Amino acid sequence: MQLNAEQLKLLDPVFDEFIKDFHQWIEEGLPQNEIVSKHCGICDNFTIFCAEHYSDVTQHICTHYLTKKFQKQGLNGYFPFNEGKAKLYLGECTSHSLYDNQQRLSWVAKEVDRIKKEMGL
């Protein structure tokens, strides 16, 4: 099932809410949390967030939304912070080092900066 641009746009406020909370979690040092996990990447954490707060938003919708967001920014849609290579991403998962990846952390911070700018802050 493909979502059109209008349907994807409806997720923007949901994503913005998630990424602000996610950034705060990172800034707090990745504390143990019932919703956010340092063992999951951004896509899985967004899916968990949506499942907890918006029961009608499915995993497919969350993944499709982020894939399109990454691609619009010129990144690989599936492994945007690992040169598009699944092996590098899986290595980070196995070694529990997802949030040692500065590209991932920088992207999250830039998204929060974008939101603040849009809000005039």
In which domain, by residue range, is 56 found?
5-116
27 in any annotated domain: yes
Q: By the 8 A CB rule, do 68 and 28 touch? A: no
Residue 4: predicted pLDDT = 76
Residue ranges of the chain with per-residue pLDDT less than 50: none
13 in any annotated domain: yes
9 in any annotated domain: yes
Domain count, the chain: 1
Reported as a single tens digit per residue, the pLDDT across 11-26 is 999 999 999 999 999 9
121 in any annotated domain: no
Q: pTM score, two decimals?
A: 0.91
Residue 60: predicted pLDDT = 82
Residue 1: predicted pLDDT = 58
